Amino acid sequence: MIEIRDLEVAYDQDIALKELNMSVPAHSTCAVIGSSGCGKTTLLYALAGLVRPQSGSIVIQDEAANGIRKSTGLVLQDYGLLPWKTVRENLAFPLKARGFGAVETNERVGAMLEELGLESLGHRLPGELSGGQKQRVAIGRTLVLEPDVLLMDEASSALDAMTKEMIQNLVLRLHRERRFTLVLVTHNIEEAVFLGQRILVMSGGRVQEQIENPYFGEVDFRDHPSFFEMCLKIRRRLYDQA
């Protein structure tokens, strides 16, 4: 479980988060949506331990989060892949950095390549991959460490519509299989509704509204009228906060 209480983050004189409160149950998903500059990326970086709050508390799995947490994974908007390393080497890099031995590293990397359908791409460099392939590698590089919390920052924003949906389907499948707690920030309403079991609408550095998504996880959710009804509901909330 993630619990945030009265969180405040400022950059010099600019306040990014103001007395922010939120909670995310263990093994659930939470989508954070809001206009540019509302503080959603700062919130994600605070959860990742990359930004130090001025005040307030972050508790993850019943422990105060102070700095970077080993069991928290982060997938960045720009993929963050090392361009001079192959797909296989990119997946192996965090394992080697954590001191895993060669045998276990090879086993984990091989299993991840298979799970993500990347077996034939292991020898390629990131520059030889499509956007969707790069995103799968970025997700795999994070999940190879088996985190219990996964943070995603606008993870499909640079992808075309069909590839975006394929990545969203992949994230949903991985969440079901691996049972990690997922927090994603997005500006895309459809993505928030598809992946958010709980949807938080942010404005002015605060969570202004929390909306439960009763249809989360339904098969072919995107084809149901309830999906469009939820999208319309979120859109109205965003306009209200604009």
Q: Is the pTM of this model over 0.85?
A: yes
Contacts of 185 (CB under 8 A, 6+ apart): 31, 32, 33, 40, 41, 43, 44, 152, 153, 154
pLDDT the model gives residue 103: 95
Task: For the chain, give the mean pLDDT.
Answer: 92
- Which residue, 190, 194, 242, is CA-closest to 217? 194
Q: Report how far residue 126's alpha carbon sits from residue 133's, in angstroms, rounded to the nearest whole number.
A: 9
What value does the mean pLDDT take over residues 187-201? 95
CATH topology classification for 2-71+147-241: Rossmann fold (3.40.50)
Q: Checking DSSP bridges between strand 206-212 and strand 198-203, what pairing results, if any?
A: antiparallel
- Which residue, 161, 225, 214, 216, is CA-closest to 184? 216
Residue type, 220: D
* Highest mean pLDDT (candidates 58-72, 190-204, 212-226): 190-204
pLDDT the model gives residue 145: 95
Poorest-pLDDT segment among 97-111, 150-164, 190-204: 150-164
Per-domain residue ranges of the chain? 2-71+147-241, 82-145
What value does the mean pLDDT take over residues 73-94? 92
Work out the percent of the chain whose per-residue pLDDT is above 90.
76
Q: Report how far residue 222's alpha carbon sits from residue 213's, in angstroms, rounded to the nearest whole number.
A: 13
